[in-house]
Amino acid sequence: MDEKYFSRLNQYRSLWVLVFFDLPTETRKDRKIASSFRKKLLEDGFAMFQFSIYMRFCASRENADVHVNRTKKNLPPKGKVGIMSITDKQFGMMEIFYGTKQQETEPPNQQLELF
């Protein structure tokens, strides 16, 4: 592989898109809307980090923008949703704990990028 390939996928160019949400679930309709929103995130390649936090690795800013815009189109009518993009380098510096035991951050899944 050539140097151009690696510069495209470096830790500062690739991004993680995180979606945080707090949606109402009091009524059956609210629960259905919240469930549909989560399902659409999964269909778009997001993975659950915690119950109301989903994340997706994107190889470039342009790719991240596609997924951010798609998420915005699927926003539920009620509730609070936050969308944040961070570099792969920043994501790698996150400290994750299960109870009191620290866990290593997992490397991103390999994704095929077509041009």
Sorted by where each begins, the domain ranges of the chain are 3-103
Statement: the pTM of the whole predicted model exceeds 0.85: no
Q: 3 pLDDT band (50/70/90 cuts)?
A: low
The mean pLDDT of 86-94, rounded to a whole number, is 92
Buried b (16+ CB within 10 A) or exposed e, 79-99: bebebebbbbeebeeeeeeee
Confidence at residue 50, expressed as pLDDT on a 0 to 100 scale: 93
Containing H/E element for 20?
strand 15-22
Task: Write the CATH number of the domain with boundaries 3-103.
Answer: 3.30.70.240
Convert the pLDDT of each residue in 9-57 to its tens digit: 577 789 999 999 999 999 999 999 999 999 999 999 999 999 999 999 9
